[in-house]
Amino acid sequence: MTIFSKKNLALVSLSMALVALAGCDAAEQSAQKFAEEAKKEAQALINDSVGEVVDEVNRQVDTLQESTNRALGKSEEDEQAESQESESKPTDESGVET
């Protein structure tokens, strides 16, 4: 009877060890998956916040440009005419002055 009990005890111990190892492996995989998802979420939050900051900076720059133009007495039509003129001017690509 003692040999049978020791054999059963050894099998039960081995089974428990395998279950524990399998549980550890599953926990590790779960932790890795959680870490990857957390990283993706953090990147998405960073991208969103950076986009919002850039949008806000652009709005402030636009407001500053408008107030500067008003202070200088320029209208939007003048600005558009100036930008069209600068776009339509031919450029001398040779870089040689004549």
Gyration radius of the chain over CA positions: 36
Model confidence at 95, pLDDT cuts 50, 70, 90, reads: low
By the 8 A CB rule, do 69 and 79 touch?
yes
- 80: number of CA atoms within 13 Å, CB side? 3
Model confidence at 1, pLDDT cuts 50, 70, 90, reads: very low
Round to whole Å and give the CA distance between 92 and 64.
33
User: pTM of the full predicted structure?
Assistant: 0.43
Average pLDDT value over all residues in the chain: 78
**pLDDT tens sequence across 48-65:** 888 889 999 999 999 999
Query: Of 41, 45, 43, which is closest to residue 33 (Cα–Cα)?
Result: 41
What single-letter DSSP state applies at residue 73? T
Most confident of 68-72, 82-86, 87-91: 68-72
